[in-house]
Amino acid sequence: MPKRNDLEQKALHFVVNTGYKGVLQSELWRELDASSREGSRVAIKLEEKGLIRRDKELEGGRWTYRLFPKRMPASIETIVDCPCLMCADNGRCDPTTTISPKSCEKLTGWIIGLDKAPVDSISPSASDPDPAEAAT
């Protein structure tokens, strides 16, 4: 039987790789080749550490939990469409000047568009799966 920390690491890695669609807790313990009891304990431990979110779900007539990562690893795909990268005013843009990210309509439009993008089109490396949590 693997150590608890090894199992937690594998579980967290698997949940993060599922992205915004999440994974059923039963799928997790099958993937880890662990018992349902071990899988449940690992999921609870990860939730207590604030690494995942567990949402109760009815699946096939049985209650289970869908596990979602609280944070996703960052990657270049998260900012590839940012207007700042190709902006002609990039060299003069500063929060303390008249050309500022605080008042940039292109940047504001891009950020608002991120919130409205369908889940499948958002890169799995965004920082938080729940836009409501990101706003707090």
CB 29, CB 35: distance < 8 Å: yes
Mean pLDDT rounded to a whole number for the chain: 81
Q: Where are the chain's structural domains?
A: 4-69, 76-134
More confident residue, 76 or 50: 50
More confident residue, 71 or 48: 48
More confident residue, 135 or 100: 100
> Would you state the CATH architecture of domain 4-69?
Orthogonal Bundle (1.10)
pLDDT tens, residue by residue, 16-45: 988 888 999 999 989 889 898 988 999 999
Question: What pTM was computed for the model?
Answer: 0.56
